[in-house]
Amino acid sequence: MTTGLIAIAAAIAISVSTIAPGIGQGLAAGKALESMARQPEEAGNLRTSMILALAFMEALTIYGLLIAFILISKL
């Protein structure tokens, strides 16, 4: 019984931690590209901010993967 619950918890952890940042990264990149198209002179600043934001979002995915590995190791 607990083995199945741990497996489900790991699946939920990895799925939520990949879907949500994936959507966020898509929206952030789209808005940044839209802003770069409107104001090309600010492209350097926007690119730096976008890369930093994408790195933070990717960290959330890595944390979810870590939690899933910890849960799977308990099986």
Q: Look at residue 75 in the predicted model and tell me its pLDDT.
A: 81
Asked whether residue 1 carries a pLDDT value surpassing 80, the answer given is no
Domains of the chain: 2-73 (1.20.20.10)
Q: Look at residue 47 in the predicted model and tell me its pLDDT.
A: 92
| DSSP code of residue 74 | T
For the stretch 7-53, pLDDT in tens is 999 999 999 999 999 999 999 999 999 999 999 999 999 999 999 99
Cα separation, 33 vs 7, whole angstroms: 39
Residue listed under structure tokens 């730096």: 48
Assign 74 a pLDDT band (cuts: 50, 70, 90): confident
Q: 64: buried, middle or exposed (CB in 10 Å: 19+, 13-18, 0-12)? A: buried
Assign 69 a pLDDT band (cuts: 50, 70, 90): very high
